[in-house]
């Protein structure tokens, strides 16, 4: 005969301890939580937007509180923030860095120059009019340049996007083609604007008809037609 009660009325201590030490979740939620809590951006910047990206890691904003540790190699990074202007000469290098990143990987286009070409979209012969022509972009940050608060807002939006992902739908959202880094086939030609036109005879002295019309008299000097009013 034991002194203990076999079926006590109060709540069992074993069940209570188990409920405090076990978490019930799904594989999608666990995977998404791990991805969104440890985004490793690559240290990549080509223009002034990178200064604002660096300021986001300063003590005032402290971007590392989101678990974002910048990495110097694409092999260890899963987030690419294109901070700055992308030129056609640099485009193959950008695509190569993106291809070297492991899946799953994400891209944030930071600044007007990266999204549409910015102030270089009108007359620049080398600026890429949108980095999404080269690599897929998840979040866009408008501005010239965007402030660190905008970078933090983009990170929060990317975390929400990652939280809604599903492992079963990964094949549907995966890239349908690959981007290859190939050398351009453009032919090198002699430059047209080489500055020599500033040394032409018409630049150093006006044509004879104009000089006679405004009353200038030619003064020979070392074989050149220099005109003077004296």
Instruction: Look at residue 179 in the predicted model and tell me its pLDDT.
Output: 47
B/e letters for 144-158, b = 16+ CB within 10 Å, e = fewer, are ebbebebbbebbeeb
Q: Are 99 and 178 in contact (CB under 8 A)?
A: yes
Name the CATH topology of 26-168.
Answer: Rossmann fold (3.40.50)
| Res 67: pLDDT | 80
Q: Is the pLDDT of residue 174 over 80?
A: no
Contact (Cβ atoms closer than 8 angstroms) between residue 73 and residue 41: no
The answer to whether 205 touches 224, Cβ cutoff 8 Å, is yes
Mean pLDDT calculated for residue range 25-34:
79
Q: Which range, 116-120, 121-125, 205-209, is most confident?
A: 116-120
Between 73 and 14, the more confident residue is: 73
pLDDT tens-digit readout, 101-121: 888 888 999 988 888 888 887
- Distance between CA 220 and CA 225 in Å, rounded? 5
For residue 176, the model assigns a pLDDT of 54
- Residue 90 is predicted with a pLDDT of 86
CA–CA gap between residue 95 and residue 143 (Å, rounded): 23
Q: What is the tens place of the pLDDT at every residue in 186-201?
A: 566 676 666 676 677 7
In the chain, where are the structural domains located?
A: 26-168, 196-228
């Amino acid at each position: 005969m034991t002194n203990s009660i076999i079926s006590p009325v109060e709540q069992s201590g074993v069940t209570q301890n188990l409920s405090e030490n076990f978490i019930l979740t799904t594989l999608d939620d666990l995977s998404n939580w791990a991805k969104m809590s440890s985004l490793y951006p690559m240290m990549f910047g080509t223009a002034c937007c990178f200064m604002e990206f660096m300021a986001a890691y300063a003590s005032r904003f402290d971007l590392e509180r989101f678990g974002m540790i910048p990495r110097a190699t694409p092999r260890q990074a899963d987030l690419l923030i294109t901070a700055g202007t992308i030129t056609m000469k640099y485009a193959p290098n950008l695509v190569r860095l993106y291809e070297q990143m492991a899946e799953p990987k994400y891209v944030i286009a930071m600044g007007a120059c990266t999204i549409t070409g910015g102030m270089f979209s009108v007359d620049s012969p080398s600026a890429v009019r949108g980095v999404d022509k080269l690599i897929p972009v998840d979040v866009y940050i408008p501005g010239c340049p965007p402030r660190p608060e905008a970078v933090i807002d983009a990170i929060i939006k990317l975390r929400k996007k990652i939280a809604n992902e599903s492992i079963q739908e990964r094949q549907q959202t995966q890239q349908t083609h690959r981007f290859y880094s190939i050398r351009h086939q453009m032919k090198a030609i002699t430059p047209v604007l080489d500055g020599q036109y500033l040394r032409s005879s018409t630049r150093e002295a006006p044509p004879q008809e104009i000089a006679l019309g405004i009353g200038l008299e030619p003064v020979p000097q070392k074989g050149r037609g220099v005109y003077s009013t004296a």
